Amino acid sequence: MTAILFVTELQVWPPYGGERLHAYHVIDSLSRGCAVTVLAPQPAADCPLLGQVQDWRDLPDVATSFWQRVIDSRFVVMQRRSWYQALERLLKEVRPQVVWFNYGHWGHYANLARQYGARTIQQTHNAQSRLQRQGLSSRPLTRWHLYYGLRYPLETWHEHHLFRRFDRVLSVSEQDRRYHARFVNDGVSLYQPNYLNETWYQLERPLPRETGLVVMTGNFGAFQNQAGASWFIDKVWPMVRQAVPAARLELVGGTAAWWRKTVEQTPGVTCRGAVPSVAPYLRQATVGVAPLLHGSGTRFKVLEALACELPLVSTTLGAEGIALTHDEHALLADEAQPFAQAVIELLANSEQRQRLADNGLALLRQQYSFAINTARLQRIVEGVL
């Protein structure tokens, strides 16, 4: 059985947010056929993976506050001594054949893994430098511009120079794969999509769809979700409400209190905050929206809508990296008026909603299911060895 050391700075459980979902599913998949040891922040005690992996070691000194993240920006381009030592201890104990780095800036540690005979994989969640650059122009000046301003050049340097040290670099979209291939070549840069465990989105008791209910999910502390939701509420939602006065919009996901207070002043808009599972909200809504104007990688909110058989309206960027075809799996629109018209059309047309929901679920099962992508990951392990 192949020995894998999986390394990430993310706390993967509870799995709130796309980054945690991504890392959780990859650990789950790899541990189905390999002996996996994890070096990551300790998850909550009820994490199912704790009984599935060989061992779980806590990664120390992970920044949790905003200012600590700013200060720790230097570790994008230099080693953190405590992480180096923790990794070296496990390399000596486990003697893994593969070190699977997930998220973060691990190029400084690839050569250490190679010294112990391991092959190295860096799995990205997006083209991080491009995302930071978008953050600089996404909204009025805030303290986050200091963070983006520091991170953008450092992460660009890391991608351009340190990604070369890995045997494979995995991207969640073909767009990101091509971007990373510019620095590491096509043989090293591979496409491995985000995916879901469909069983997470099935309910014991079906919920009736609420007529006129529109839902958007996501972490609304992230600039791309906040900016997209603000655009939808300011530009699109008034047209929807004019055509369907009883329509309601629910924003489901964590958010700052000040922003929640602001958006809830808009008639028909409610913020639900962070929830244990988005499935009940997606199963109860009539239409889902992904009105994103910024972003990289792929959006779990789109995959989750497909898994919950929820017809979706998205911007082209919101659906980027996922094989959605307009009017087959979802409706796509990039301007306010056509976006509003698509939402209004779906709210009124049950046959169209059902067709999109059926096609979207079929697409999810064909390309973004747990079983299919667990097999893909196994082939990547075999290939790197």
The answer to whether residue 135 scores a pLDDT higher than 90 is no
Residue 343 has pLDDT above 90, yes or no: yes
Which tokens belong to 60? 């120390």
- The tens digit of pLDDT for each residue in 50-107 reads 999 999 999 999 998 989 998 999 999 999 999 999 999 999 999 999 999 999 899 9
* 318 C-beta neighbours (distance < 10 Å), count: 27
pLDDT of residue 139: 64
Alpha-carbon gap, residue 367 to 193, rounded angstroms: 8
What span, in angstroms and rounded, lies between the C-alpha atoms of 43 and 20?
A: 11
Distant-in-sequence, close-in-space partners of 165: CB < 8 Å, separation ≥ 6:
107, 110, 111, 120
In angstroms, the CA 151 to CA 153 distance is: 6
Single pTM value for the model: 0.94
pLDDT tens figures, 254-300? 988 888 999 999 999 999 988 999 999 999 999 999 999 987 778 99
Half-sphere exposure of 91 (CA within 13 A, CB side): 22
Residues 6+ apart with CB under 8 A from 191: 170, 171, 172, 173, 174, 177
Please determine, for residue 327, whether its predicted confidence score (pLDDT) is greater than 80.
yes
pLDDT digits (tens, 9 = 90+) for 156-179: 999 999 999 999 999 999 999 999
Task: Report how far residue 121's alpha carbon sits from residue 166's, in angstroms, rounded to the nearest whole number.
Answer: 6
* pLDDT attached to residue 48: 96
**Confidence band, pLDDT 50/70/90 cuts, at residue 138:** low
DSSP string spanning 246-311?
A: T-EEEEES---HHHHHHHTTSTTEEEEE--S-SHHHHHH-SEEEE--SS--S--HHHHHHHHTT--
Reported as a single tens digit per residue, the pLDDT across 80-92 is: 999 999 999 999 9
**What is the structure's pLDDT at 126?**
83
Cα(159)–Cα(302) distance, integer angstroms: 27
